[in-house]
Amino acid sequence: MDLAKTLEDPRLLPLLPSIYVAWADGELSATEMTTLCDRVDEIEGIDVDCKEALGAWLNAEEPPQPNDLAALLSTIRRMAAGLAEPERLDLASLAAEIVYTARPGSPLRAPEARAIAEIESLLGVMGPELTRSILQVPSERTEVDASPSFDPASLGRFLDGPRADIRGRMRRLLVQPRFRYRHDISRDDYREVVLAWTKEIAERGIGPIGFPVEYGGEDSMSCFIGAFTVLGHHDLSLLTKVGVQFGLFGGSIARLGTKRHHDAYLEAAGNASLLGCFAMTETDHGSNVRDLETMAVFNRTTDEFVITTPHDGARKDYIGNAAKHGTAAVVFARLLVGGEDHGVHALYVPLRNESGETLDGIRIEDCGPKIGLEGVDNGRIWFDGARVPRTALLDRFASVDDEGVYHSDIPSPGRRFFTTIGTLVGGRVSVGAASISVAKSALAIAIRYATKRRQFGAQGEPEIVILDYPTHQRRLMPRLAATYAYHFAFEQLIDDYVAGDMDSRVLEAQAAGLKAYGSWHAIDTVQACREACGGAGYLAENRFGALRADADVFTTYEGDNTVLAQLVTKSLLSDYQLQFADMNVLGTIRFLATKAFESVREAAPAIGGADERHLRDRKWHLDIFRWRSDHHVSALAARIKKRLDGGMESAEAFTAVQDHVLATARTHIEYLVLDRFAAAIATNENEDEREVLNLLCDLWVLTRIEHNRGWFLEHGRLSAGASKEIRKLAIRLSGEVREQARPLVDAFLIPDGVLAAPIAR
């Protein structure tokens, strides 16, 4: 067989670099060759001819001749010549890029990419070094750190967990020069760049990856959220646009609509040929969406819904994709059928025609400049009698039949509404998890800088590396520990969400709480990191400005944090079998306030000793965090009961004790985070990694106890001596974490090109 001829087969394209590498290193062992062929076999769409060609290339008996290899190499180089900065790519990304330019319209599919990544690891090579050697680019100077106690790449794989594949793919995509940050362009151009990025993510199959296979997806919300967390390191306008397009717009069609809607829109939403909005919020109603005022009145004669904005305060507001790109929207409106108000429902409403003009009955305005996310076109929408057919109602939970009669299997309008909203919990899971990515980026930048930056020192000596200052350690190390803690909590949350077997109320409460406290942690961390870099931190190129301005909104959208935190506590109160919002509220509260309180008191864990062994005992940590949370719940119940007994309404009573409601939410979420962190550590099989993770976990717990030590002291759970000891220990452990700080941020696997800050080099 003429090997050189096979080089023209487009199906072989993605494999060329791998083939070259397989031979370039000297002869491969026969077993290696076999494994290689096996992997290749798994690639979809490879036909017999193609396999034959491959077999010939990988035939250990009859290895390719030097001139074959030369032809192969020059083919690869020719193709790579079209790429900007190919030397930054690893093998799989190089293949992906070659395919993307040479085989337009049929990008590398997930299985192909996976096979190549596996080949790469099989060959024992990783990263751009290999590509550099193929393309003969001199390698970059890489800094060598003081020997870390663990392997950051391996810990990175552990953090990636079941989503390692998709995360790797996403990272490789984002280092492409096309994805370079663009802050040098106008707002309008920026929006177009973000749109182009979004489309590429669609085309690469990542956007729709959570959709059913029959609509171009891979039915994997795990992959979608996994990819989303990696986007959290990149431009957050892109993250938001992707979230709106595939998560909110596509997701609500998928979850609130039925087959009719799926058939009509899902594939187009997934490949981004149909761009859409999620139009819930109104100017007057953001947190309280149950009282939205947009009306969708059913007209029996025309068999249509007529959608109207009754007054200016009821215009849709802050709607992503609305100002410019969206051609349709999932609109939340009160459904009025036969004069009866059935509460808020979702409808599919076209907004613009193909030339981008707004349709009859629709008026749209730009929201104007925002603090951040300027790459997203947020807008306001007014409806003035816009008409949509009856079938526009996304009718998974309620429908209007041919006779114009409203039906729903869920009898109570309140419960119907919360079921509708509940299906959208994925947005909170995603945004919460992505906020932790932001914290990781900020820490990676600040910690790398702090391991090199020097300031002050004894005469004649080199100045001190700023990360060696105890204050610097106290500013950054507990936040690094907390970031690890939240990482694992979110990984578990994603798994639980994807598995779908958790009680939906519990899942929603966890998502709400982790999103709230996670995003607060993130913006606090960004600020601390910015300050930790001094003047250099204030330069835009070092990215804290964008990180903070963009991530700031994480505390507001997908639910305001203060409001979300209250959901956590509401769910805790109703954990005791009875619904807080129901008739039985009095009963629940009475129960909690008396019986439960007794048992909480009895279950009190031992008073903390002041010795290190005790203070670092994980079981004690779990016990007191759990107890603190339980104690808060029952003390809260007692407070509410007092007010109910005094004749207050339950909602009013709940509001009156709001401060305790929030404290309760925080203690519960901290328990949850600790529980997840501890559980995740136990699953790690590498002792060195377990050790450093346990160190982080200790530091996190102790910092939290230190922060809240007033409460523990008040409630007799800490002696004054133990309390002081905890502070000392937290300081000391910050110093210990500092020794591993650089490899610990390396394990976040944020590609340099995505991190991008010059001071983080």
Ligand X SMILES: Cc1cc2nc3c(=O)[nH]c(=O)nc-3n(C[C@H](O)[C@H](O)[C@H](O)COP(=O)(O)OP(=O)(O)OC[C@H]3O[C@@H](n4cnc5c(N)ncnc54)[C@H](O)[C@@H]3O)c2cc1C
Interface residue list for ligand X (CB under 6 A): 244, 278-281, 286-287, 318-320, 370, 373, 378, 453, 455-456, 466, 469, 471-472, 531-532, 534-536, 538, 553, 556-557, 559-560, 562-563
Handedness of CA 673, 675, 679, 681 (dihedral sign): positive
Q: Are strands 328-337 and 295-299 parallel, antiparallel or unpaired?
A: parallel
Strand segments, DSSP code E, in 207-289 are: 276-279
**CA–CA separation, 572 and 724 (whole Å):** 32
- Out of a copy of itself, ligand X, none, what residue 278 binds, judged by CB under 5 to 8 A for its kind, is ligand X
What is the phi/psi pair of residue 74, to 5°?
A: -70, -30
Q: How far is the CB of 400 from ligand X (least distance, A)?
A: 23
Q: Are 224 and 246 in contact (CB under 8 A)?
A: yes
- What does 463 interact with, of ligand X, a copy of itself, none (CB < 5 to 8 A by kind)? a copy of itself
CA–CA gap between residue 473 and residue 563 (Å, rounded): 33
371 or 679: CB nearest a copy of itself = 371
**Strands, E, within 52-189: which ranges?**
none
Amino acid at 433: A
| 558 is an active site residue | yes
Judged by beta carbon, residue 47 or residue 456, the one nearer a copy of itself is 456
**Residue 403 CB contacts under 8 Å (≥ 6 apart), including other chains:** none
* R_g (Cα) of the chain, nearest Å: 28
> Which residue's CB is nearer to a copy of itself, number 386 or number 439?
439
Cα–Cα distance, 180 to 178 (Å, whole number): 6
Distance CA 17, CA 31 (A): 20
Query: Would you say 166 or 529 has its CB closer to ligand X?
Result: 529
Choice among 558, 670, 689, 725 that is catalytic: 558
Task: Output 75 or 252, the one with its CB closest to ligand X.
Answer: 252
State the distance between the two ends of the chain, measured CA to CA, in whole angstroms.
48
> Of a copy of itself, ligand X, none, which one does residue 723 interact with (CB within 5 to 8 Å by kind)?
a copy of itself
Q: Which does 122 bind (CB under 5 to 8 A by kind): ligand X, a copy of itself, none?
A: none
Contacts of 35 (CB under 8 A, 6+ apart): 122
Nearest CB to a copy of itself, comparing residues 273 and 471? 471
At closest approach, how far in Å is the CB of 495 from ligand X? Answer: 26
Least separation, in Å, of the C-beta of 28 and a copy of itself?
A: 48
Q: Which does 714 bind (CB under 5 to 8 A by kind): ligand X, a copy of itself, none?
A: a copy of itself
Pairing state between β 328-337 and 276-279: parallel
Report the partner that residue 280 touches, choosing among ligand X, a copy of itself, none (CB closer than 5 to 8 A by kind): ligand X
Please give the distance of CA 312 from its chain centroid, rounded to a whole number. 34
Q: How far is the CB of 563 from a copy of itself (least distance, A)?
A: 8
Nearest to 705 by CA among 761, 588, 634, 622: 622
Closest distance to ligand X from the beta carbon of 205 (Å):
24
Structure-block tokens of residue 758: 């010059």
In terms of CB distance, is 495 or 560 closer to ligand X? 560
- Give phi and psi for 625, each to the nearest 5: -70, -40
Question: Do 335 and 281 contact (CB within 8 A), yes or no?
Answer: no
**Residue 319 binds which entry of ligand X, a copy of itself, none, with Cβ cut-offs from 5 to 8 Å by kind?**
ligand X
Write down the least CB distance from residue 247 to ligand X, Å: 10
- Least distance between a copy of itself and beta carbon 566 (Å): 8
Q: Are 209 and 266 in contact (CB under 8 A)?
A: no
CA–CA distance, 208 with 221 (Å, rounded to integer):
9
Q: Which two tokens stand for residue 64?
A: 């390719």
Active-site positions read: 558
